[in-house]
Structure 1
Amino acid sequence: MLVAAAAYYDSKVSSQEAAFAKAEGASFEVRKIFSEAISKVGDAKSRWEHSRPSRDSVEKDLLNLFQNDKRFLGAGAVFETNLFDGKDSSFIGRKGSNSKGRFVPYFHRSIKNPDEISLEESVYYDNTDESGNYYQIPKATLRDYVGEPYFYPLEGVNVFMISLIRPIIRQGRFIGIVGLDLKLSDLEEELFSKRPFGGGHLALISPGGKYAVHGADTLRQGKDAGTPELKDSIQRSLSSGQPFAYLVEGGNSYIFPFGMGTYGKNWAIEVYVPDSYLWNDLGPIILRCLFITFALLPICLYFLDRFFCKYVVDGLSAATTFADSLGAGNYSAQIPIRNFQDEIHHLFVTLENMKEKLLAAIDQQIRSEKILRESAEIYSRNEIIRLQKEELEVALGELKTAQETLLRNERLTAIGRISGAVSHQINNPLGAIGASRENISFYVKRITVLLPFLFEYLSRASDPEREFFNIALKKTLENHKEQIGKKFRETRHSIEAFLKQEDIDNAGDKAAVVAELGFVDCPEFILQLCRCSEWDRISEFLMAVRGLEISEEVIHRSTDRMYKIVSALETYSGIAKEDKERWVKVSDTMEVVLGVYEGAGGNRVTVERNYVSEATLRCVPEDLVRLWTQVVDNAYQAMSGEGKLKVSIYDAESKVICEVEDSGSGIPKNIREKVGEVLSSGKSEGEGAGIGLAVAASISKKYGGSWDWESKPGCTIFRFSFPKSE
Structure 2
Amino acid sequence: MAVYDVAYLQELPVLKSIPTEHLEWLLKTSEIRELAPGQALFTKGQPTDYMHLVLEGQINISLEQNGTYKYFVSVKKGEITGLLPYSRLRTAAGQGIALVPTTVLSLHRRYFTELEHVSPELVQELVGIMTDRVRDFTRSQQQNEKLMALGKLSAGLAHELNNPAAAMVRSSAELLRIHHSVPEKFKRIMSMHVTPDQVDAVNDILFRKIDAGLQSNLTLLERNSLEDEITDWLEEQEVEDGFLLAETFAESGVNLTDLEEIKAILAGNNLSEVLDWIANTLNTERLICDIQASAKRISALVNAVKTYSHMDRGQDKEKTDLHSGIKSTLTMLNHKLKEKNIQVEQDFGKDLPLVNGYVGELNQVWTNLIDNAIDALEPGGKLRLATRVEGDNLKVTVQDNGSGIPAEALNRIFEPFYTTKPVGKGTGLGLDIVNKIMLHHDAAIKVQSQPGNTVFELCFPIV
Alpha-carbon spacing, 1:483–1:693, altered in 2? closer, same or farther (3 Å): same
Q: Deviations over 1:548-577 (max 9, x none)?
A: 111111111111111122221222223698
Residue type of the partner of 1:545? T
Q: Provide the residue aligned with 1:410 in structure 2.
A: 145
The question of whether the paired residues in 1 share the 8 Å contact of 2:416 and 2:428 is answered with yes
Give the alignment partner of residue 622 of structure 1, picking from 327, 345, 360: 360
For 2:159, which of 414, 424, 427 is the aligned residue? Answer: 424
Q: Which runs of 5+ in 2 are unaligned?
A: 1-118
Secondary structure at 1:443 match in 2 = helix
Q: Larger % of helix: which?
A: 1
The corresponding residue for 1:434 is 169
Q: How far apart, CA to CA, are the structure 1 residues paired with 2:455 and 2:255?
A: 47
Question: In the alignment, which residue of structure 2 is the partner of 1:480?
Answer: 213
Which one has the largest radius of gyration? 1
Q: Are 1:639 and 2:374 an aligned pair? A: no
User: Judging changes above 3 Å, is the alpha-carbon distance between structure 1 residues 531 and 639 closer, same or farther for their aligned structure 2 residues?
Assistant: farther
Residues 579 and 640 of structure 1: CA distance in aligned 2, closer, same or farther (over 3 Å): farther
How far apart in 1 are the matches of 2:425 and 2:313?
26
Q: Separation in 2 of the partners of 1:622 and 1:389?
A: 39
Q: Distance in 2 between matches of 1:470 and 1:485?
A: 24
Cα distance change of structure 1 residues 673 and 513 upon mapping to structure 2, 3 Å threshold: closer
Alignment correspondent of 2:264: 528
Aligned residue type for 2:278: L
Query: What is the identity, as a one-letter code, of the residue corresponding to 1:475?
Result: R
Deviation track 1:166-189 (CA, whole Å, cap 9, x = no partner) reads xxxxxxxxxxxxxxxxxxxxxxxx
Aligned equivalent of 2:317: 581
Taking the TM superposition and a 5 Å limit, the aligned residue runs for 1:111-122 are none
Match of 1:308 in 2: none
What is residue 596 of structure 1 aligned with on the other side? 332
Q: Secondary structure at the match of 1:522?
A: helix
Q: 1:688 to 1:450 in 2, by over 3 A?
A: same
Cα distance, 1:424 vs structure 2:
1.5
CA distance in 2, matches of 1:475, 1:449: 26
RMSD: 3.8
Q: Is 1:495–1:522's contact at 8 Å kept on the other side of the alignment?
A: no
User: In structure 1, what is the Cα distance between the partners aligned to 2:291 and 2:358?
Assistant: 39
| Structure 1 position 689, deviation (Å) | 0.9
User: How far apart, CA to CA, are the structure 2 residues paired with 1:416 and 1:620?
Assistant: 23
Aligned to 1:123: none
In structure 2, which of residues 375, 387, 397 is the aligned counterpart of residue 659 of structure 1? Answer: 397
Q: Secondary structure at the match of 1:648?
A: strand
Q: Which amino acid aligns with 1:571?
A: T
- In structure 2, the CA distance between the partners of 1:558 and 1:520, relative to structure 1 (3 Å rule), is same
CA-to-partner distance for each residue in 1:255-278, whole Å, 9 max, x for gaps? xxxxxxxxxxxxxxxxxxxxxxxx
Aligned to 2:307: 571
Report the Cα distance in structure 2 between the residues aligned to 1:655 and 1:557, rounded to whole angstroms. Answer: 40
Q: Give yes or no for contact 1:425–1:600 (8 Å, CA) kept in 2.
A: no
Check if 1:719 corresponds to 2:454.
no
AA at the equivalent of 1:664: G
2:333 counterpart SS class: helix
- Give identity over the alignment, percent: 20
Change over 3 Å in CA distance of 1:387–1:581 after alignment to 2: farther
Higher relative contact order (CA 8 A, sep 6+): 2
CA deviations on 1:344-394 (whole Å, 9 max, x unpaired) are xxxxxxxxxxxxxxxxxxxxxxxxxxxxxxxxxxxxxxxx99999887666
**1:607 matched to which residue of 2?**
344
Quick check: 1:514–1:522 contact (8 Å CA) kept in 2? no
The answer (yes or no) to whether the contact 2:445–2:458 under 8 Å persists in 1 is: yes
The one-letter code matched in structure 2 to 1:647 is L
Q: Is the 8 A contact 1:578 1:622 kept in 2?
A: no
* In the alignment, structure 1 residue 683 sits paired with structure 2 residue 421: yes
Contact persistence 1:444–1:544 (CA under 8 A): no
Contact kept? 1:626, 1:696, Cα under 8 Å: yes
The equivalent residue for 1:545 is 281
**Number of corresponding residues:** 336
The answer on whether the counterparts of 1:491 and 1:520 sit within 8 Å (CA) in structure 2 is no
Displacement of 1:633 in angstroms is 1.8
Q: Which secondary structure does the structure 2 equivalent of 1:660 belong to?
A: strand
Give runs of aligned pairs for residues 169-188 of structure 1, distance below 5 A: none
Q: Does 1:489 align with 2:222?
A: yes
Q: Residues 661 and 716 of structure 1 are in contact (CA less than 8 Å); yes or no, is this contact kept in structure 2? A: yes
Counterpart of 2:29 in structure 1 is none
- 1:106-185 paired onto structure 2 within 5 Å: none
- Cα pair distance change 1:711/1:485, threshold 3 Å: farther
Q: Could you say if the C-alpha distance between residues 477 and 483 of structure 1 is closer, same or farther in structure 2, counting changes exceeding 3 Å?
A: closer
- CA drift of 1:455 comes to 1.3
Partner of 1:235: none
Q: Mean alpha-carbon deviation: is it higher for 557-566 or for 476-485?
A: 476-485
2:433 to 695, 704, 712: 695
The one-letter code sitting in structure 2 at the alignment partner of 1:553 is: C
Q: Which residue of 2 aligns with 1:470?
A: 203
Mapped contact 2:444–2:460 kept (Cα < 8 A) = yes
Counterpart Cα distance in 1 of 2:149 and 2:295 = 26
Deviation at 1:605, TM superposition (A): 4.0
> What are the superposed Cα offsets for residues 212-260 of structure 1, whole Å, 9 maximum, x if unpaired?
xxxxxxxxxxxxxxxxxxxxxxxxxxxxxxxxxxxxxxxxxxxxxxxxx
- Distance in 2 (CA, whole Å) between partners of 1:712 and 1:575 is 38
Q: 1:600 to 1:578 in 2, by over 3 A?
A: farther
- Give the 3 Å change call, closer, same or farther, for CA 708–530 of structure 1 in structure 2: farther
Q: CA 1:575 to 1:663, structure 2 compared with 1: closer, same or farther past 3 Å?
A: farther
Q: How does 1:51-450 map to 2 (within 5 A)?
A: 395-450=130-185
Residue 64 (structure 1) aligns with? none
Query: Equivalent residue for 2:66?
Result: none
> What TM-score comes out, normalization by structure 2 length?
0.62
C-alpha separation between the residues in 1 aligned to 2:131 and 2:171? 60
TM-score, with length taken from structure 1 = 0.41
Contact (CA 8 Å) 1:662, 1:717: kept in 2 or not? yes
